[in-house]
Structure 1
């Protein structure tokens, strides 16, 4: 395992609140992975930033009577607060509108331009005569020319994931009228220069998902298209060329460069050479499947275009979209759950547990279902995990005054239990290294289930021979669970740690230490208390009724 890592997630757009769909595919998996790496002694940093530029922000800020700067500052702060409430533990959360990112983006552009990867071209762009403005991609909707999906943006089909050369049957998304076409001059990035080198990088990187690589390779074989990287609006990173006529960069040109500029800023503030660290670390970019095109083609091509001055990503964990009660999430139809709203109902660990449980390492979509949520929390988190911790530690407090007893010779069942503890960190860690977070969490739950059965089999309440072994091993199993659960359920893990009477914070443990029997005979436990509270079905019914159009 590389002892350095930089982890990023797709940047949250500073134009609205974070909802469950945002955290499921990108932020939660990245946070779990970062916490795991740190427990393994990796110098790992999770950096992110709000994506501040673009026409939607410009228009919305005008509607609210704010400057774009004021508007994005509000959402930067609000998003960070919501993420923090969910225990997404960024090492640094910055913004694409920072002076550091603006300077970095302009520097990259100059290097690409000097290397012959940029050219100027007169184009015909959609113009809305009704709204009197050129229409950037997000303000033109139509039919995807590739898969024929309707109501798609002109810069990205959310159905097939491709970037259309030109959308079919375009409409202005502001007023619904068909736009006209007018001449303007834009700057283009020669993506077509990089087909072979992109193919080589994809072939040689064994960490990328095979199914994603396959269809990206097919995109390359079918022919790449040069990329229009400028827009005729006022809110963005200015193009640093004379005669650029107040043009700014397209958001997708500048936002992923903030992965690098934010890391450099954070590392510099710590007195670390950022470029050296970046190039010697494992680089992770956690994304949803809708932005594969940008992260597997545009982003690496730009880095290749500046001679890989900053290394390309080692991992791009890509996951599917979250649906809600079987339907696509939609703010306009009130078919969504804001993260802040959810955390007013239930603890963060409930949602973390559920979202990891249902989220495989694939591009398959996953579904948040209120009834399934209640069932899993009540039967698995409470009925299995919470039950074992409460039984093991509560019994020790009651029957042994909270003092871990001396052991005797282990019988066959004890030896099996000891073996489970000694194998846990490797079994769970191996799955986490492969990004199978759901399977890793399931492995911990199987461990808990085994110890529930072990406790039941040994019947320590009868105080027969072998009782002390059961208590000793069960208490140590609870410690093992506290450590291995920490990436997933940080608050609950610390609660177990406190009940075990252990000093400090579970996050300062070592991952491999989870498989050691560190709690010795004579150790005194802390106070025992229930970890979780049951999810009431009456509450679930209320939450379901809150979805959809207001009555």
Structure 2
């Protein structure tokens, strides 16, 4: 593990509210990982930005009578507010429309152009005679030529994840009429010339998921095509060439460069050499499986094209999509739950717990189910962790006035319990370092369940021999839980810490201290009370009934 790290996640598009599907695969896993790395003593920074350019934003701002700048500024602010309420702790949140990113994008293009990786070519593009404009990307909908999925945008099939050369059965997304074809000049990136170095990089990077690597390598074997990096619209980063008036960069050319430009802005403002830090750090890009093509091909090819001036990612944790009650999330059909809406119902840690617990480190899709959510919170978070914490601390407060007694002789069951504490940090570390966050959370649940059984077996309320040892070990086990949960459930972890009567915060404790018995005899606990509240079935029924009926 490197002593430096930069963590990014796919940039939220500044075109609407953040919903549960957004946070499940990218932002929450990235946040948990960043918190873990910081506990490990890594100088880690979580960097993000709103993705401000492109056709959908231009379309929507025109409908609302706003300038694109006004429109994206609103969503940049709103997105950050929602993320913050969910305890997604960015070290810096910026925007792709920043002057720093625009300058950086133009500089990268110029270097690629000077190196011979860019060429101009006349193409035939869809044109709507009704709306009198060329129709790039999301101005055109149709059928995917690869998997035949209907109602797909021309720049990305959300069903198979491929980027079509040309969409089948095209329709103008503004007026619905079939477009004609007209000639225009565009600039292309010679992606197919990078097949060999891309394949080599994938082959040599052992940190990437094997199934994703194989998937992308098969794409390369089947033959890459050069990439059209310009669009005939008014909202985007202008191309820095005299004969490119009226053209801007395709959003996927500029947006991932904001990973770098935003990191440089943040680090340089802190007095750190941003470029040197980037190239000496572990680089993480957390993404969903729908943008594998861009992050495994476009992004690394562009960095290779500027002579690896900025290192390629070491990790690209890729997870599947979230469905809602086993149906695809769709804002147009009102089949979604906004993050802000959800946080009006339940604490952020309830959602963090549930999403992490059902989200494996794979491309498999996961499903949000209201009934399962309630069951997991009530039986696992409350019935397991909450129950043990309350039993151990509540009993100590009642029977020992909150003062920790010194342990007496250890029986075998006490030695086993102590060993559970001593081995927890290394067991969790192995899972966290491999990005198996769901398994790590399960390990914490197993740890808590063991101590529930231990407490029950020792029966300290009978005040028999070994009671002091049971209390001493149980309270220290609560401390271990608080530290290990701090990456997953920061608010709940802090509440437990306060009830333990400890200073600082659990997130500031070094990782290895999870397995230390640092609460000594004579320590006095804080005030004890239940950490969590049960979810009622009537409320769940109401939330389910509301799906699909919200007013947009």
Where on the TM-score scale, by shorter chain, does this alignment land: which range?
Answer: over 0.9
Aligned position for 2:102: 102
Deviation by residue 1:340-371 (Cα, 9 ceiling, x = unmatched):
00000000000000000000000000000000
Deviation by residue 1:436-469 (Cα, 9 ceiling, x = unmatched):
0000000000000000000000000000000000
Q: Are residues 1:504 and 2:504 paired? A: yes
User: How far does residue 43 in structure 1 lie from its aligned partner after superposition?
Assistant: 0.1
Aligned position for 1:284: 284
CA distance in 2, matches of 1:387, 1:400: 19
CA distance in 2, matches of 1:507, 1:483: 6
Q: 1:550 to 1:266 in 2, by over 3 A?
A: closer
Structure 2 matches for 1:509-524, cutoff 5 A?
509-524=509-524
User: How far does residue 109 in structure 1 lie from its aligned partner after superposition?
Assistant: 0.1
Mean Cα deviation higher: 305-314 or 148-157:
148-157
User: How far does residue 318 in structure 1 lie from its aligned partner after superposition?
Assistant: 0.3
CA distance in 1, matches of 2:55, 2:107: 23
CA distance in 2, matches of 1:438, 1:544: 25
Unaligned 5+ residue runs, structure 2?
none
Structure 2 matches for 1:199-278, cutoff 5 A?
199-278=199-278
CA distance in 1, matches of 2:457, 2:123: 76
Helix, strand or coil for the counterpart of 1:16?
coil
Contact 2:45 2:91 in 1 (8 A): yes
Aligned position for 2:421: 421
Q: Are residues 1:138 and 2:132 paired? A: no
Deviation by residue 1:132-156 (Cα, 9 ceiling, x = unmatched):
1111111211111111222111111
Contact 2:354 2:376 in 1 (8 A): yes
Aligned position for 2:185: 185
CA distance in 2, matches of 1:435, 1:345: 29
Aligned position for 2:75: 75
CA distance in 1, matches of 2:320, 2:94: 26
User: How far does residue 391 in structure 1 lie from its aligned partner after superposition?
Assistant: 0.2
User: How far does residue 406 in structure 1 lie from its aligned partner after superposition?
Assistant: 1.0
Helix, strand or coil for the counterpart of 1:93?
strand
Aligned position for 2:297: 297
Q: Are residues 1:84 and 2:87 paired? A: no
Helix, strand or coil for the counterpart of 2:49?
strand
User: How far does residue 550 in structure 1 lie from its aligned partner after superposition?
Assistant: 5.8
Helix, strand or coil for the counterpart of 1:493?
helix
Q: Give the count of matched residue pairs.
A: 551
Mean Cα deviation higher: 57-66 or 79-88:
57-66
CA distance in 1, matches of 2:324, 2:540: 14
Q: Are residues 1:154 and 2:160 paired? A: no
Normalised by the length of structure 1, the TM-score is 0.99
CA distance in 2, matches of 1:317, 1:362: 8
Aligned position for 1:382: 382
Contact 1:333 1:549 in 2 (8 A): no
CA distance in 1, matches of 2:218, 2:470: 57
Aligned position for 1:403: 403
Aligned position for 1:39: 39
CA distance in 2, matches of 1:73, 1:44: 27
CA distance in 2, matches of 1:258, 1:155: 20
Helix, strand or coil for the counterpart of 1:345?
coil
Contact 2:9 2:48 in 1 (8 A): yes
User: How far does residue 246 in structure 1 lie from its aligned partner after superposition?
Assistant: 2.1
Q: Are residues 1:170 and 2:166 paired? A: no
Alignment root-mean-square deviation, CA:
0.8
CA distance in 1, matches of 2:480, 2:74: 41
CA distance in 2, matches of 1:256, 1:494: 35
Deviation by residue 1:385-437 (Cα, 9 ceiling, x = unmatched):
00000000000000000000011121100000000001101111110100000
Helix, strand or coil for the counterpart of 1:111?
helix
Deviation by residue 1:177-201 (Cα, 9 ceiling, x = unmatched):
1111111100000001100000000
User: How far does residue 163 in structure 1 lie from its aligned partner after superposition?
Assistant: 0.8
Unaligned 5+ residue runs, structure 1?
none
Aligned position for 1:472: 472
Helix, strand or coil for the counterpart of 1:298?
helix
Helix, strand or coil for the counterpart of 1:184?
strand
Contact 2:55 2:137 in 1 (8 A): no
Aligned position for 2:326: 326
CA distance in 2, matches of 1:373, 1:4: 36
